[in-house]
Copies of this chain bind each other. A is one copy, B any other.
């Protein structure tokens, strides 16, 4: 998609009351890029995960720290284990990465919105490439899983999160389709994730994109004291 023309200076804008209904809106371009996260992004990732826990009202389950994330992520080459794509946004074209990963070519897309996106946390999620400010808008964390029936891997999407001020704009779809594209590129058979059964809007969205919601399977989880106890169940 081509970049939209920059808005004209304010003096050239018509009075709102004078604009006829058929006026083409003056666009606000948003340049976006999906790139692989790196260890230096951990502070952003930690803040995004915490926002997700707040959104899901699950902060009582939240115990990740920047330190725990740093020690457990980025230990394997991208796509072979836990992998994070970050969504970057900017009002200007985003400069190329200085050290791009040979494993992944960033995906770029330019959006054009009628009204500017107001980000009240802009500074807390800013990266500077030279002088240019770029905003981290969301992330997707995924890793390989395996289907013995297919005899091949897939990707499991653990988290997909877009910050509140950037929702309902297509950015979540952009992140998820980047995972699908990578799966196809690697010859993988599936992309899977989970959804809460009462989240009807999400289920409708997923079904419209062609996903199947499996009605019969339930997740079993062994954790905490029960996990500690069960490790010796066979002795």
Contact = CB atoms under 8 A, between A and B. Distances in A.
B149 A58 contact: yes
A75 to B, nearest CB: 8
Count copies of this chain in the complex: 2
A49 B173 contact: no
A181 B222 CA distance: 12
Contacts of A81: 80-81, 144
A153 B72 contact: yes
B218 A151 contact: no
A183 B215 contact: no
A221 B212 contact: yes
Nearest to A231: B181
Interface string A206-225: 10011111111111111101
A219 B214 contact: yes
Interface stretch (A4-12, A88-96, A194-202): A194-202
Contacts of A231: 177, 180-181, 183-184
Interface in A167-181: 170, 173-174, 176-178, 180-181
Nearest to A170: B234
A19 interface: no
Contacts of A53: 149
A68 interface: yes
Given A195-B217, A196-B216, A218-B214, A223 B190 contact: yes
A209 B222 contact: yes
Contact of A152 (B72, B196, B209): B72
Interface of A: 49, 52-53, 58, 61-65, 68-69, 72, 76, 80-82, 107, 109, 141, 143-154, 156, 158-159, 170, 173-174, 176-178, 180-181, 183-184, 189-198, 203, 206, 209-223, 225-235
